[in-house]
Every structure is written in C-alpha cells, then in structure tokens.
Structure 1
Amino acid sequence: MSFRLPFTSLAVAALAAALALPAAAQERIKFKAIGQPLATGLIQKNKEQPFFENFAARTGLPIDVDYKPIDTLGLKDTEQLRVMKAGLFDIVSLRVSQNSRDEPTILGLDLVGAAPDFATGRKVSKAYFDTIDARLQQQFNVKLLGVWPFGPQILFCKKPITKLADVKGMKVRVYDQNLAKFIELVGGTPVPVSFADTHQSLSLGVVDCAITGPSSANSAGWPEVTTHQLPLGFQMALNGYAISMKSWNSLKPDQQARLKTAFEGLTEEIWKYSEELFQDALNCNQGKDPCTTGKKFKLTSVAVTPADLELVRGAVTKVSLPAWAEVCDKSNPGCSQKWKATVAPVLGLK
C-alpha cells in the first residue's frame, strides 16, 4: 500500500495548487469608472484614459478598472453624481459645472471671474478642496480625490467681434447657470447646449458664439464653423476625480494612501499639460506656429482689452458670487459663508 502515498500526496498538492489559483485571481479588485467625454479631446485621450488603462501599474494596487468615457455609456454628463450615489460606478471623472444643478456647492470651485488663469485656479482648488470633499461625502457618499483644469474657457464666434461687449444681442452657448448670468450681464442671450451638440448648433445658427477651452474647441472642430476667438478666460473649467465611499472603505489604509498619491500625481500632470495645451491650441486655431497638439485653422484672434479683463474680474462680486450664493445657500445653508471664509481670502476679496 505504501506505493500509493506519494501519489496521494502529489494529488493533494495538485488539488491545493488548483484551488489556490482562483483564490489568487479573486484577490484582484475590479472597479468601474466613468471618464470624460471622448469629444473633449487630448486630456481625456493622453492623460486620463492611459492612467485608468494602466491603473494597477500606476497605483501599485491589485485593481483593474473598466474605464468608459461618459459619451460611450449612454449617460448624460449631468447625471454623474446620481449614478455614483446609486452605486453603479466606483470612480468618476467629475464634470463640475455639469453636475452643479444636483450639488450647487461644487460650482464654488469655478465661479465666473474667480480663476481667470492657471495660478489662481490652483489656489482656488486648494482652498476649496476640503469643503467639496465633505459635501460630496455627506450628500452622495462620494470622496474627492483630486481637482484639475481643462484650462481657461474662452469665446468663439461666427460673427466678427472686437471686444466682449460685441456679444450684445447674440446667442451664446453656455454650460452652467453661473456663466449664463454673466452672459446676460454683458448683453448676450445664454443658450445651454451640451458640448457634443455645439458644433452643429454653431453650424445651423442656433447659437452665434460658444464658450469652451481652445484645445477642446480644436479637437471638436469648432474653428470650422466660427471665425473669431477671444482668449479671455471666464472660468478655469475645473473638474475632479472622486470615488464612492463604499469602494474607498473596501481598501486598507495603506491602499487608500497609495490611491490618493496616484491621483495627486495624475492631477498634477494634467495641470501642467493643460497649460501647455492652452497656448498651443490658441496658436493652432489661428494658424500660427508653434502648433504641435492640434489642427491648424484660420481664426482671427481678438486682442483682450483692459476693459474686458476688468469686466470678467469684476464679475465675481457683481454677478457670479451673488447668483451662486442664492442657489447654494437654499440647498446647503451656510454654503456661501464657507466660500467667503476659504476662497475669498486667496482672491483678495473682503
């Protein structure tokens, strides 16, 4: 009988090894992530998507991510917080302005005139980060991991303009209420249009002008249907990365720390890349060199006047803060006071 023992031992060892394989495989974590729309261009394509597709390598964690840009999911970009709260996704590339109707607090990150340039945008996002994080956790069970910019949002028109005031009487594509109030202030008619529908709206004359970043405009072909760009930043188009608290709490403390570090690295990369893209895309749109990231067009670039700069900077106290405060304080009492305590000091506002 003794000749059977080695065989039995081998069989047991083989069975143990076979059983161990699925266990090891199960140790990997699977997350589902909502990305920025494909239509928004190079930040999504060159920074965000590669990060998620190489998530395990970038974070050092056994996590595989099923990453889908939102315009391939059949979801609206205004529904991101709702689907996260419902537990349908683990991580979201959060479009701030688009989700501000569901949570007005987050728009305090990007009031018109508050962050006309990258340096100010960084200060604002740092000062307001903890406020947004706390509110998202409380209302949507979602934790903020990082904030990044598409960059200054500027004006594109299919009619000749020489200054901002020339939009008086024109229909202007906007993407949030705060921007709509500002366009009304300068005499334009704000028209809410999704980014994906804007090219066609310009082409058909549904709108005369539209606002976005120069790189996104280039990627989406807006210069095919416009003639002028005014490189005056109204907003910084700040966006975020957030994770559901359920997914966050499923990680061990050291895994949470690694994840946070990885997202801080990604957002820092995007800040730098966004600034490079901004200047390059302005050049591309008007057919100037250097133009390395986009397609060359022949837009007229309108010089920004001191009066226009003053108009945008003054918008914070005149229109964007009061309009936002009224909406935000209704759903989140004390919301505007919190902004005044955290963000106003870095902008030098009393």
Structure 2
Amino acid sequence: MKKFLIVLFFCFLLLFSIGSQIAFSAIELRISSWMPAKSVDTAIAEYWTKKVEERTGGKVRFTIYTASSLGAMKDHYDMAIKGIADITFHTLSNNPGRHPLSEVLHLPFIIPSSEVGGKVLTQLYREFPEIRAEFDEVKVLGLGTIDTWNFHSLKKPINKMEDLKGLKVRVPGGIASEAVKALGAVPIGLPVPELYMALQKGVIDGTVMGWEGIASFKLYEILKHYTEVGGFTTLTQGLFMNKASFNKLPPDVQKIISEDLGLKWWEEEKGKLFHDKWAEEARVLVRKHGGNIYSLPPDEKKRWVDAILPIREMWVKTMESKGYSSARKILNRALELSAKYSK
C-alpha cells in the first residue's frame, strides 16, 4: 500500500508539471528581416523582442530570421499578409507604388533625421485615413524612416552638382530616381544585396544610401568618397504583423506590442536609439578605412534643393491623377510636421 501511494504521489507530481508547462507555455512568434544578421534592423529586432518578452512576463517568445532566410527582400510585406512570418520588417521602397501616399517622405529634403521621420510618418498615419488604408491587410506595429541618404562614390568626389553629370548612381527606384536625374546623374535601379558586386565590377560609379547601409553591407571596404547633402531623401519602413497571428494574442499582449512598444515606441525611440546612432558609428568606420567625408556648404545645397523642388509638384500631380485628392494636403502636413519636430 505504501509503495502504491508513493507511485501515485510521483505520478501526480509529473501530471502537475506537464499541466503547468502547458498552461504557461509561451506563444512562439517568428519575426523576419531581409537585412543581414549584422545590421540596424537586426539590432532593432533583438532589442524590441527582448523588451516585449520582458514586458509580457515571458508570455511571448521570438525567433528572429535574417538575411532573407524566410523570403526575398521584396516579399516581406506579403509574408506578413500570408503568415509566412508572424512579423516582418519591410522597407516600402522594395515595392514602389504599393503605399503611394506613405512614400511622400521619400521626396527630397523633407526629413532631416530618422528621429524626425518616425514622428512625422506616425502622425500622418494617425491623421489621414487614406494612409491607414494602405496597410489594411496587416496589423501595423510600427512606422518610421531609416537614416537620411547621401551620395557615395568610388573614384570621383562629389563636391558640387556638376560632379554628378553622367555618373551612374544606384537608387532604390521610385522618387529617388527622378531626384538623381534632376541633379544630372544617371539613376540605376539595383537591389541592395547586389550593390557591393556592382561597385566592385564598375557597373555603377556610386550610390545614394544612408550611413547605416554603408556599415551593414560593408561598402566602406570599396567606396572612397562620401558626400553629406543634408537630408537628400530617406526610406519609409514598418513593422507589420499577420492579422490572424495578432488576433490570437491575449489582449494585454496585443496592447504591449501594438501600442506601448508599437507605434509609440517607433515614433519616439527607434530612430533616435538606432538609425541616427548607427549613422554616427558608420562615419567613424568610414574614416578608419580611409574614406573621405565631405559636407555640402549651404550655398551649394541650396542649388541642389532648387533643382529638385519641382519633383514635389510632380508627385502631387501624379497622385491626384490616380485619384488621391488629399496628396497636396498630405505633403504640406509632412512639411509642417518636419519643421515642428526639427526644432
């Protein structure tokens, strides 16, 4: 009888242990980025997932996939829609024209930093239902911009607008192509992962890119001249979640990832803590590898701005022709917000 009771007791303990594990098992979520393992997006993912795990008391656990291991760069928005990943980092320029009103911040000389860009884009998302409608297929956890882009070249320094004449410059496509063309260069559309080899083979003469990209893709190993133009352009990006995956989460977890550490965190912290900080660190890295950094003087920058300003009006007219009657209002509001948050 005593043996039976001992066996019964241990069976009870085993069942209790298994039951406890089932009751308190964490929700497993997959988060994907097309960027390399050593990149600002991965650093953000590691920081953000750790914060979510802490705030939820271990209710949620993440597996981070990098370097397009779950899907190609251009597919990351659709991956969130289809649930290939529960959450994805997606850069909107990877699908030009898919989120046309949100691309207003791609227009040249509007956004001076990632910190300002995150605040402006998030506020536009809150204010304009037309922008919210562009993301109907997913749950938006965060919106922002990367660091602002500059001109970087292999052989020829770019100190004035005339230095761009005829240069083959890699662009992500869309608005940036028109801006580069207006300055006299030849825009070449090329995915970022192909950029290093294209520079190495002399297929292109240079690129427009943020400092964080120079570091992430090790372009400091091959580029020699870096021209800071002061907010030439930027790229909008977001953290997007599959709707079914989001709806399965407990309400308290939903609030943490979509509000406390969602839109609010992306608006107020992400750009400042990561993109702008990485830009500073990339400058140091470039100098260590013998790169020459040059900043346009104010009078020369004004020439660039004047040459590019007509592109804003062109964007408005294009959007209006496609039925987006609020395009001008959105542009004007973006300019107002940028000025406000830049003070």
Q: Secondary structure at the match of 2:184?
A: coil
Q: Is 1:203 the counterpart of 2:203 in the alignment?
A: no
Q: CA deviation at 1:118?
A: 4.5
- Aligned position for 1:241: 239
Aligned partners of 1:219, 1:36: CA distance in 2, in Å? 12
Aligned partners of 2:206, 2:310: CA distance in 1, in Å? 23
Change (3 A) 1:116 1:219: same
- Confirm or deny: 8 A CA contact 2:173 2:189 kept in the other structure: yes
- Aligned position for 2:184: 187
Gaps of 5+ in 1: 288-295
- Aligned position for 1:303: 295
Q: CA deviation at 1:279?
A: 2.9
- Confirm or deny: 8 A CA contact 2:102 2:121 kept in the other structure: no
Superimposed CA distance per residue, residues 167-203 of structure 1 (whole angstroms, 9 cap, x where no aligned partner): 1111100013110010111111111111111111111
Change (3 A) 1:33 1:332: farther
Equivalent in 204, 228, 231 of residue 231 of structure 1: 228
Equivalent in 67, 82, 90 of residue 94 of structure 1: 90
Q: Secondary structure at the match of 1:302?
A: strand
Change (3 A) 1:203 1:269: same
* Amino acid of the structure 2 residue aligned with 1:206: V
* Amino acid of the structure 1 residue aligned with 2:296: V
Aligned partners of 1:164, 1:335: CA distance in 2, in Å? 33
- Confirm or deny: 8 A CA contact 1:104 1:327 kept in the other structure: no
Mean Cα deviation higher: 301-310 or 149-158: 301-310
Give the alignment of 1:1-350 within 5 angstroms.
10=9, 13-14=12-13, 16-17=15-16, 20-21=19-20, 23-24=22-23, 27-38=25-36, 41-52=38-49, 55-57=52-54, 59-60=56-57, 62-73=59-70, 75-118=71-114, 120-130=116-126, 131=128, 134-138=132-136, 140=137, 142-160=138-156, 161-232=158-229, 233-259=231-257, 260-263=259-262, 264-265=264-265, 268-285=269-286, 287=287, 296-314=288-306, 317-319=309-311, 321-325=312-316, 328-329=319-320, 333-334=324-325, 336-337=327-328, 339-340=330-331, 342-347=333-338
Q: CA deviation at 1:57?
A: 2.3
Q: Secondary structure at the match of 1:108?
A: helix
Percent same amino acid among aligned pairs?
A: 18
Give 4+ residue runs of structure 1 displaced > 6 Å after superposition: 2-5
Mean Cα deviation higher: 238-247 or 167-176: 238-247
Q: CA deviation at 1:311?
A: 4.4
- Confirm or deny: 8 A CA contact 1:81 1:102 kept in the other structure: no
Q: Secondary structure at the match of 2:64?
A: strand
Superimposed CA distance per residue, residues 266-323 of structure 1 (whole angstroms, 9 cap, x where no aligned partner): 66144233223323322431x2xxxxxxxx111222231224422454477410x344
TM-score by length of 2: 0.82
The alignment's C-alpha RMSD in Å is: 3.3
Q: CA deviation at 1:12?
A: 7.7
TM-score by length of 1: 0.81
Aligned partners of 2:179, 2:118: CA distance in 1, in Å? 22
Gaps of 5+ in 2: none
Change (3 A) 1:177 1:315: farther
